């Protein structure tokens, strides 16, 4: 059975220029920051056992959570990301492909069922750890949708909650209040215990699990209740 794993992404000259700037900038910021990882033993156990899993973090925290996961490729981890099939996704897809990462082109909004199937297939056929941002791609912010719950339930691999906190960052005015850490900041990456979803969950139970997991991400992120209502 085929699934929508992307072929090599072709970029325009302008897109090549942007790609050449973006990733080195992320690496520079990461290396300039004082980075601490809390809960790394949970990741180490999964990678040691060669277990695929589903890293899960809020969309606003993509930059450093994704970069931390890319560092794990040295352990032999196979990593995959769901990337928008639109032109907006071409540069992220090309960056990830250049790092040996699987780009699955799809959208949880427009092609939800197909995207879920593609993620399931790449886990089961290739043992790929597939990253999800449960409030993406368009929000609402901090709303944990049930896609990751269903994927864990179907593929029988655990969800790994992740977040990072930063002492100083630029915060964008986008729907997700995207965070870009400032150089030389202190960054703490927080990793929670893996959460395996049971095989038998009905729709209401899936929603209950999503609410619970959203609470875990908020605690790891240090998000206050007052921020959830703004």
pLDDT for the residue numbered 86: 74
Q: Does residue 24 sit within a domain? A: no
The residue ranking higher by pLDDT, 100 or 89, is 100
Number of domains in the chain: 1
Instruction: Answer whether 108's CB lies under 8 Å from 138's CB.
Output: no
pLDDT confidence of residue 225: 64
Question: Measured between alpha carbons, how far is residue 195 from residues 28, 32, 41, 50, 160 in Å?
Answer: 33, 32, 14, 17, 6
Tell me which of 225 and 118 has the higher pLDDT. Answer: 118
> Is 223 inside a domain boundary?
yes
Model pLDDT for residues 42-98, shown as the tens digit of each residue: 999 999 999 999 999 999 999 999 999 999 999 999 999 988 777 777 888 888 888
Confidence (pLDDT) at 114: 85
Identify whether 94 is part of a domain.
yes
The pLDDT tens digits for 155-166 are 999 999 999 999
**pLDDT average, residue stretch 200-220:** 97
β-pairing, 102-105 vs 79-83, is parallel
Amino acid 5: pLDDT: 57
46 inside domain:
yes
Residue 12 has pLDDT above 90, yes or no: no
Taking the C-alpha atoms of residue 86 and residue 75, their distance in angstroms, rounded to an integer, is 32
Mean pLDDT (whole number) for 200-210: 96
8 A C-beta contact, residue 152 and residue 159: yes
User: What's the CATH code of the domain at 61?
Assistant: 3.40.1130.10
pLDDT category at 13 given cuts 50, 70, 90 is: confident
Is 10 part of a structural domain of the chain?
no
Kindly report the average pLDDT of the chain as a whole number. Answer: 90
pLDDT at 108 over 70: no
Instruction: Give the percent of the chain with pLDDT over 90.
Output: 72
Is 181 inside any structural domain? yes
Confidence check: pLDDT of 125 > 50: yes
Confidence of residue 213 (pLDDT cuts 50, 70, 90): very high
State the DSSP string of 83-141. Answer: E-SSGGGHHHHHHHHHTTPEEEE--TTTSHHHHHHHHHHHHHHH--EEEB-TTTTT--T
Does residue 60 contact residue 178 with C-beta atoms inside 8 Å?
yes
In a domain? residue 20: no
Is there a domain that residue 22 lies in?
no
The pLDDT assigned to 1 comes to: 37
Give the range of the structural domain holding residue 80, as residue numbers without chain letter: 37-228
CA neighbor of 165 nearest in space, from 71, 41, 57:
57
Per-residue confidence (pLDDT) for residue 2, from 0 to 100: 42
**Mean pLDDT, to the nearest integer, of 205-221?**
97
């Amino acid at each position: 059975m085929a699934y929508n794993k992307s072929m090599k992404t072709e970029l325009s000259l302008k897109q090549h220029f942007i790609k050449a700037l973006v990733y080195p900038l992320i690496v520079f910021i990461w290396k300039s920051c004082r980075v601490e990882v809390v809960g790394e033993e949970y990741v180490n156990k999964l990678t040691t056992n060669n277990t695929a899993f589903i890293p899960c973090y809020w969309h606003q925290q993509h930059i450093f959570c994704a970069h931390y996961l890319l560092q794990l490729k040295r352990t032999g981890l196979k990593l995959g990301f769901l990337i928008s099939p639109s032109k907006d996704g071409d540069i992220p897809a090309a960056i990830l492909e250049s790092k040996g990462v699987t780009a699955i082109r799809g959208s949880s909004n427009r092609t939800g069922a197909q995207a879920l199937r593609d993620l399931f297939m790449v886990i089961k056929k290739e043992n790929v750890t597939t990253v999800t941002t449960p409030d993406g791609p368009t929000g609402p912010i901090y709303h944990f949708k049930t896609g990751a719950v269903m994927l864990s339930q179907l593929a029988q691999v655990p969800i790994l909650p992740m977040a990072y906190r930063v002492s100083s960052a630029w915060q964008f005015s986008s729907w997700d209040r995207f965070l870009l850490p400032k150089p030389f900041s202190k960054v703490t990456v927080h990793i929670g215990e893996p959460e395996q979803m049971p095989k038998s969950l009905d729709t209401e139970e899936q929603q209950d699990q999503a609410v619970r997991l959203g609470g875990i991400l908020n605690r790891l992120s240090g998000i206050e209740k007052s921020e959830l209502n703004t």
